[in-house]
Amino acid sequence: MVKVAPSILSASFNNLALEIDNVVKAGADLIHLDVMDGIFVPNVTFGPLIYKDIPRYEGVEFDAHLMVTQPEKNIQSFLESGLDRISIHAESTDHLHRLLQMIRNHQIKPAVALNPATPLAAVKWVLEDLDMVLIMSVNPGFGGESFLKGMLGKIERLKEMIQQQGLTVEIEVDGGVCPDNIRDVVNAGADIVVAGSAVFGKPDYAEAIRALKNH
């Protein structure tokens, strides 16, 4: 069954801890944390200090997606924030392999994120060093964007690459995933889907998560 990772970018920040508690109780498998610096993407969100104050839940991973320029400048603060997964954009650094090694050395699962126009060749030579590849199915920076259907083929080709190398790398898909398209996304090869408004935009979080899982 596909895993669902609600993105707190779409949650109410008036009581973030309660929002996270509610989606965990509703069946979330991961909590997705979007970090934006206003340079790599046009929006600005939050940094690692917020994560330290959020309660942890057994069996629920905290999944940070760093949409920042030159993440190597601030990676240490994220490594010390109690995160379970960290995704680095291939487009954001000249030192991708080094960053992935640093993440792994801190017992955190390393991942690479790819923007829609970035080819899969960007992860070819680091694929065996990863726990996950994050495929952006919208142009990053804002919530509530529409799914780019052309990414289905990209997901399929990535799944083939992983299988051909005999790896167990997970595929996470982020952007515009909803009950109307999740069947196609999962059939293409997604293991994890990030859901913002598809969960936090609904009155019943448990029902929203079930609608995604029971595609």
The rounded mean pLDDT for the chain is 91
The residue extents of the domains of the chain are 3-213
Query: Is 34 annotated as catalytic?
Result: yes
pLDDT digits (tens, 9 = 90+) for 59-75: 999 999 998 888 998 88
pLDDT digits (tens, 9 = 90+) for 41-98: 656 566 666 666 777 899 999 999 998 888 998 889 889 888 999 999 999 999 999 9
Q: Given this model, what pLDDT does residue 167 score? A: 98
Catalytic residue among 29, 34, 37, 131: 34
Query: What is the pTM assigned to this prediction?
Result: 0.94
pLDDT digits (tens, 9 = 90+) for 138-195: 987 666 679 999 999 999 999 999 999 999 999 999 999 999 999 999 999 999 999 9
Helix/strand/coil (H, E, C) string of the chain?
CCEEEEEHHHCCHHHHHHHHHHHHHCCCCEEEEEEEECCCCCCECCCHHHHHCCCCECCEEEEEEEECCCHHHCHHHHHCCCCCEEEEEHHHCCCHHHHHHHHHHCCCEEEEEECCCCCCHHHHCCHHHCCEEEEECCCCCCCCCCCCCCHHHHHHHHHHHHHHCCCCCEEEEECCCCCCCHHHHHHHCCCEEEECHHHHCCCCHHHHHHHHHCC
CATH number of 3-213: 3.20.20.70
